Chains A and B, each alone.
Chain A
Amino acid sequence: MTTPRTIDDDTDATPRDTLDGTRVGKGSDIGAIATIRRGLALSPEFRTGLPLTLALAVISTLGRIVTPIAVQQVIDRGLSAPGGPDLGLVRQIVLLAIAAVLVTALAGYLMNVRLFTVTEGGLATLRTTAFRHVHDLSVLTQNTERRGALVSRVTSDVDTISTFMQWAGLLLVISVGQLVVSTVLMAFYSWQLTLLVWGCFLPLFLLLRHFQKLVATAYTRVRERVGEMLAAISEAVVGAPVVRAYAVEDRTSERIDTAIEAHRQSATRAQKIVALTFSSGEIVAGIATAAVVVVGVLLGVGGDITFGQLVAFLFLITLFVGPVQVGTEVLNQAQNAVAGWRRVIGVIDTPADVADPGPDGIVLRRGPIDVRFEHVSFGYPNGPRVLHDVSVTVPPQSRIAVVGETGSGKTTFAKLLTRLMDPSEGRVMVDGVDLRDVQFGSLRARIVMVPQDGFLFDTTLLDNIRYGRPESSEADVSLALTELGLAAWVEGLPNGLSTPVGQRGESLSAGERQLVALARAYLADPDLLVLDEATSAIDPATEVRVQRALEGLTRGRTALTIAHRMATAEAADEVLVFAAGRLVERGVHADLVALGGGYADMYASWTAQRASRA
């Protein structure tokens, strides 16, 4: 899609394809080693007591070698001793082995506990860091990604790392260790047979890389299909009223079935690859064993190795095959884990375009606020310019109305004013200070914007209203509602202030949600209030009442309202008229009508509508 769009006039329209801000990083350009290094840096917990954990891991690995050695020693030196079976030696070796097994188990337990504690701690930190960073990203960046996908960055992506670290990662270390140790031991018994075993497995190792790619691709596909399937199902759930009202159940279930079937097929395909990969290890193991028997017997006949050595060697092959098979499985997990880690790191390393200056920033004093736009222009990265050279001063305690056609730049103006975005050129000054230099805490306390869609959290009405000021008491909230003239409405709800509002506030009507959002902003008590069509679903009588209280005539608040309703403009101290990204007219309503420009046309059309009947 390449057409310019009117993203401007809509608070939640997402310009995902062309007009995006900095995209949420996928981390796909980070190499595996760099991923791991960066990941370890992000979760310092991972390194807590690492030497001891590693030491325990080494003990664990060595412990696994004990059985075959013991078996070999028992057979070769105990049972097949030249002077007849040596019972004392057998008993000694077995007792030593039992002690070793117990030490191994203890070391394994301690290592597991340490590993779990450390990794879960580190991953909780990683999750929280990524979560916070998502909120710190600019609105534009947040909108480059579906919300569900962002959630997966702090949930399932992190979970894949957790699974890998606690289960697979350790197995990988142990497997590699076991491969090395068993190779050394095998070589100790017979270097010829060792070469033979490696000769059998080498092609498999070489093929493994290729298999890994196949597996990784297959699993990536599965993950994509899961996403598509969930999107299809969620559409049917979220859009249930539309599906019902238009009786399109059959079509909807067909769409879902297609997604479900696509997922099933991709999962089955992945399973096929994994099953075939896994079984190839088994075949190679059989070939290697057979080869060892043949060559071993020939060597034995020639007197190069003893009976006990060959038997021990056959045991060692089992020891060698095990880690190969486990390793194949583990590498699959590793693919997932590194991919997951990359996605989490991708989020964390995405620059926050609109950044908090932090402690060095300026704290604004409370009180009447004035705003000055100095030659402000704004264009989306890679997109057209949507606001051109706007210079305007909003005096303290004034009531400003912003009007204009869809796509005229109204919402961009509001977003720059509240620093949801930063200007491409020029600057926005508040109380004589560049908005970019103001600490976020101070900025958000003094300037509050109410968007059109009043998002509510799934809790009570009370908690939603005091969201911006959690320290408020129930009495404060009641007082605010009374001042807004909404007390009667709340009393009419089944449980008053304790009424749960449901997910996203969906137990309430759209108009009621807007009332809550407005009450929330009122209680937050900002010095500059920006309403972005925040009353579009509220009845006029309530709207007038609420807006009057909100604008805080008595309190000296500066208020800026974006509205379709011309009544708002009529009542404002000053009207700003936007057209095609420019501030084209400004002044009081009567003057603008007299001017006979675009505003006068808009007003005429509105009054014509009104007059058409009443």
Chain B
Amino acid sequence: MPERGLDRSVLRRGFAVLGVAIREEPRIFGIALVGSVLFGAMTVGNAWVLGRVTENLITPSFARGDVAAGALWSAAALIISVSLLKAVGIVLRRLFGGIMVYRLEATYRRRVTRQYLRLPLSWHHKHPTGQLLSNANADIESVWFPIAPLPMAIGVVVMLVVAAVALVLTDLVLSIVGFVVFPTIIGLNLLYQRYLSPLQTVAQQLRAEVSEVAHESFDGGLVVKSLGREASETARFAAKAGELRDAMVRVGRVRGLFDPAMEAVPVLGVLAVLMIGSIRIESGATSPADLIQVAYLFTLLAFPIRAFGWVLGEMPRSVVGWDRVRNVLDATGGFSYGARRLPAADGPSRLDVVDVRFSYEGAEVLHGVDFAVSAGTTVALVGPTGSGKSTVANLLVRLVDPDTGAVELDRVDVRELEPGGVAGAAALVFQQTFLFDDTVRGNVTLGVEGVSDEDVWRALRLAQADGFVAALGHGLDTQVGERGTSLSGGQRQRLALARALVRQPRLLVLDDATSSVDPQVESRILAGLRDSTAPSTVVVIAYRRATIALADEVVYVEHGRVVDRGTHDDVLGRTEGYRELITAYEREQADRLALAEAETSGG
């Protein structure tokens, strides 16, 4: 977070961001600017017209006690025309200012989300969801915030120039008062921005933190409740809310001083004009009409000139937001694709994992994993919790790339495949199910063309999901809700499985993908996979005996290394760790029986 010493560079960089905006939307900006200039010119024009009307119509009429109807009506028409033009200016300025802001927001949201989809998962791991969401939402919003008043501010410049000319032409001495008031207002704005922007940055940060605490706390609501931590969670939230309150009160003190000052300065200017003007009238140097016009100009300019303040005041936030957005847009992922395609031949793939090493946040978690799966066979990847199995699963479908070593499908390094090449051949069913806020059909096909409803039903049947899907109100068209919340965990897992099966992958990777499914249902799924008409090479990560039983071979890993591989019986016979893991329940049972017997015989 940049905080101090940012004044000058913020201004420079803030203007650079505005420059980007103008380059992105030159035409729309142009129209908004025309609107602002029109508005500015007509604001001054209004004062001028009123001055002229006073001098040429009102004063003589009052003096003569008589008025020409034609002059009266043309004066009215003139005043209304100026108002109409001013209204047109307002519409153009506000509407096109808004259009510009929303177009820029949309453009950058598309760019940022494209990046999210493009950047590797390792990048995603380092950037929490909340942050990425706020990059795409609040940050982009704050970048373009000063754009809305920008045309107005530029219009004000035009207005000031016109007003300055009008003032000088009307009365040089009185205009000097104006040249004192306007710089004072601009100076006040700069001062304000300088004091306020660091305070506002802090408040903005705290606002995000309050939201983070609330989000996390509500997310973990069940844990909070089941451990009775409501009071301490509330204290945690109240502390952050209190910090935000204090920060906002500090902001309020500065704003509270600035607002009345901004209002007082132009008023004092008008009073000064009257004071000096009255003296000049007395000496015959100016006329009452000129004095009125000058006074009127001052009152009118006081408000629009604050548009400067809006632009300048929002600049620090804009620059901070821009930095955060650029961080996403400029991020480079070391994820490149080759141009190779897999041989067109259908049927299961051969998989080779060649001496793969992989680090996570600087710590190596896979230390040279090496195994092969011949086409059409099933391998069970077994190992204790935290041994690196899920990491291997991610490597197999190229969600991440190894530090050294390679993953090969049909003897082709997956890194050499064209974009989409790996996904076309291999499907991973995750441990943690993720469903889109879409229909059942959409979640299974994921928009792949040429998948018929029969294909979807076939996959659902294989995943043992056809029964409950058929019972849903709208069958395949049933919306599953955000993250599939309308379904149970086991149902979600089965849909995720169907999603993989509908693609008839040549390599199917199941990462503990049936853990929430009843054993009976699971055994039917496994039987279906085994007897499937479209055979795959399967890598299955599981603890359940029945799942492992499906495999032709077992690869046993511990602490990121392959400790043993072979048939279940061989590994069971040779490897202590595997035996302990697999027979844990039986040994538990035996222990208990022994204990019970000891108790019986002892008691």
Contact A271 B106 (CB under 8 A): no
Contacts of A406 in B (CB 8 A): 488, 490, 518, 521
Name the distance in Å between B256's Cβ and chain A's nearest Cβ: 3
Contacts of B488 in A (CB 8 A): 5-10, 13, 406-407
Name the distance in Å between B361's Cβ and chain A's nearest Cβ: 7
Which residues in window 291-311 of B have CB below 8 A to A?
A: 291-292, 295-296, 299-300, 303
Residue in A closest to B521 when the chains form the complex, CB atoms: A406
Residue in B closest to A67 when the chains form the complex, CB atoms: B267
Contact B385 A511 (CB under 8 A): yes
Question: Is the CB of B221 closer than 8 A to any CB of chain A?
Answer: yes
Contact A510 B267 (CB under 8 A): no
Interface-side segment among B158-166, B241-249, B531-539: B241-249
Per-residue B-contact encoding for A140-176, CB less than 8 Å = 1, 0 else: 0010001110110011000100100010000000000
Residue in A closest to B595 when the chains form the complex, CB atoms: A553
Contacts of B249 in A (CB 8 A): 116-117, 120
Contacts of A315 in B (CB 8 A): 296, 299
Q: Known: A283-B87, A303-B65, A510-B432. Is A605-B519 also a contact (CB below 8 A)?
A: yes
Which residues in window 226-240 of A have CB below 8 A to B?
A: 226, 229-231, 233-240
Contact B229 A467 (CB under 8 A): yes
A294 to B267, CA, bound (A): 29
Q: Known: A74-B274, A75-B288, A567-B585. Is A443-B228 also a contact (CB below 8 A)?
A: yes
Question: Is the CB of A278 closer than 8 A to any CB of chain B?
Answer: yes
Name the distance in Å between B206's Cβ and chain A's nearest Cβ: 11
Interface-side segment among B97-105, B174-182, B450-458: B97-105
Per-residue A-contact encoding for B573-603, CB less than 8 Å = 1, 0 else: 0000000111011011100100000000000
Contact B253 A540 (CB under 8 A): no
Name the distance in Å between A48's Cβ and chain B's nearest Cβ: 13
Per-residue A-contact encoding for B65-106, CB less than 8 Å = 1, 0 else: 111000011011101101110111011001100110011011
A259 to B395, CA, bound (A): 32
Which residues in window 371-429 of A have CB below 8 A to B?
A: 405-407, 418, 420
**Selected contact of B252 from candidates A124, A166, A236, A448, CB within 8 Å:** A166
**Selected contact of B237 from candidates A117, A128, A272, A298, CB within 8 Å:** A128
Which residues in window 416-448 of B have CB below 8 A to A?
A: 419-420, 422-424, 427-428, 430-432, 434, 436-437, 446-447
A230 to B383, CA, bound (A): 38
Q: Known: A300-B61, A609-B519. Is A294-B282 also a contact (CB below 8 A)?
A: no
Contacts of A209 in B (CB 8 A): none
Question: Is the CB of B275 closer than 8 A to any CB of chain A?
Answer: yes
A6 to B518, CA, bound (A): 13
Interface-side segment among B113-121, B315-323, B344-352, B404-412: B113-121
Name the distance in Å between B459's Cβ and chain A's nearest Cβ: 13
Contacts of A79 in B (CB 8 A): 278, 281, 288, 291
Interface-side segment among A182-190, A336-344, A450-458, A475-483: A450-458
Q: Known: A10-B490, A80-B288. Is A301-B67 also a contact (CB below 8 A)?
A: yes
Contact A94 B275 (CB under 8 A): yes
Name the distance in Å between A373's Cβ and chain B's nearest Cβ: 19
Question: Is the CB of B23 closer than 8 A to any CB of chain A?
Answer: no
Q: Which of B241, B483, B568 has the most CB of A within 10 A?
A: B241
Q: Which of A104, A109, A123, A405 has the most CB of B within 10 A?
A: A109
Contact B221 A67 (CB under 8 A): no
**Selected contact of B248 from candidates A14, A116, A458, CB within 8 Å:** A116
Contacts of B251 in A (CB 8 A): 116
Q: Known: A237-B124, A239-B434, A564-B519. Is A131-B384 also a contact (CB below 8 A)?
A: no
Question: Is the CB of A515 closer than 8 A to any CB of chain B?
Answer: yes
Contact B129 A246 (CB under 8 A): no
Contact B214 A151 (CB under 8 A): yes
Interface size bracket, A side: 35 or more
Name the distance in Å between B84's Cβ and chain A's nearest Cβ: 6
Contacts of B137 in A (CB 8 A): 226, 229-230, 233
A483 to B63, CA, bound (A): 105
Contacts of B512 in A (CB 8 A): 510, 537
Contact B86 A294 (CB under 8 A): no
A203 to B596, CA, bound (A): 92
Question: Is the CB of B4 closer than 8 A to any CB of chain A?
Answer: no
Contacts of A111 in B (CB 8 A): 256
Q: Known: A278-B90, A567-B589. Is A155-B210 also a contact (CB below 8 A)?
A: yes
Contacts of A542 in B (CB 8 A): 384-385
Contact A283 B386 (CB under 8 A): no
**Selected contact of B221 from candidates A139, A237, A257, A267, CB within 8 Å:** A139
**Selected contact of A105 from candidates B260, B399, B546, CB within 8 Å:** B260
Question: Is the CB of B330 closer than 8 A to any CB of chain A?
Answer: no
Contacts of B201 in A (CB 8 A): none
Contact A70 B121 (CB under 8 A): no
Residue in A closest to B215 when the chains form the complex, CB atoms: A151
Contact A252 B117 (CB under 8 A): yes
Name the distance in Å between B388's Cβ and chain A's nearest Cβ: 9
Question: Is the CB of B377 closer than 8 A to any CB of chain A?
Answer: no
Name the distance in Å between B571's Cβ and chain A's nearest Cβ: 11
Question: Is the CB of B10 closer than 8 A to any CB of chain A?
Answer: no
Contacts of B589 in A (CB 8 A): 567, 570-571
Question: Is the CB of A132 closer than 8 A to any CB of chain B?
Answer: yes
Question: Is the CB of A557 closer than 8 A to any CB of chain B?
Answer: no
Question: Is the CB of A468 closer than 8 A to any CB of chain B?
Answer: yes
Per-residue A-contact encoding for B32-70, CB less than 8 Å = 1, 0 else: 000000000000000000100110011101100111000
A500 to B436, CA, bound (A): 29
Contact B83 A286 (CB under 8 A): yes
Q: Which of B281, B397, B588 has the most CB of A within 10 A?
A: B588
Q: Which of A105, A115, A441, A494 has the most CB of B within 10 A?
A: A105
Contact B132 A539 (CB under 8 A): no
**Selected contact of A544 from candidates B210, B518, B545, B588, CB within 8 Å:** B588
Name the distance in Å between A75's Cβ and chain B's nearest Cβ: 7
A419 to B488, CA, bound (A): 21
Question: Is the CB of A205 closer than 8 A to any CB of chain B?
Answer: no
Question: Is the CB of A314 closer than 8 A to any CB of chain B?
Answer: yes
Residue in B closest to A256 when the chains form the complex, CB atoms: B113
Residue in B closest to A146 when the chains form the complex, CB atoms: B482
A108 to B487, CA, bound (A): 57
Residue in B closest to A609 when the chains form the complex, CB atoms: B546
A239 to B580, CA, bound (A): 35
Contacts of B288 in A (CB 8 A): 75, 79-80
Question: Is the CB of A498 closer than 8 A to any CB of chain B?
Answer: no
A59 to B75, CA, bound (A): 38
Contacts of A275 in B (CB 8 A): 90-91, 94-95, 98
Q: Which of A148, A405, A448 has the most CB of B within 10 A?
A: A148
Contacts of A264 in B (CB 8 A): 102-103, 105-106
Contacts of B245 in A (CB 8 A): 120-121, 123-124
Interface-side segment among B149-157, B188-196, B471-479: B471-479
Name the distance in Å between A447's Cβ and chain B's nearest Cβ: 8
Question: Is the CB of B232 closer than 8 A to any CB of chain A?
Answer: yes
Contact B79 A13 (CB under 8 A): no
Residue in A closest to B227 when the chains form the complex, CB atoms: A468
A9 to B105, CA, bound (A): 43
Name the distance in Å between B430's Cβ and chain A's nearest Cβ: 6
Contact B397 A245 (CB under 8 A): yes
Name the distance in Å between B222's Cβ and chain A's nearest Cβ: 6
Q: Known: A105-B261, A279-B87. Is A260-B106 also a contact (CB below 8 A)?
A: yes
Q: A108-B260, A264-B106 are in contact. List 12 more A-B contacts (CB 8 A).
A: A13-B488, A75-B292, A116-B249, A229-B137, A242-B434, A275-B90, A300-B58, A444-B227, A451-B223, A492-B386, A540-B543, A609-B545
29 A-B pairs whose Cβ atoms sit less than 8 Å apart in the complex: A1-B473, A3-B473, A70-B274, A98-B268, A104-B263, A120-B249, A120-B252, A123-B245, A128-B237, A131-B238, A135-B217, A135-B233, A150-B214, A236-B117, A241-B434, A243-B117, A245-B423, A246-B427, A267-B102, A283-B83, A286-B80, A290-B79, A293-B79, A297-B72, A300-B61, A310-B62, A315-B299, A492-B559, A614-B582
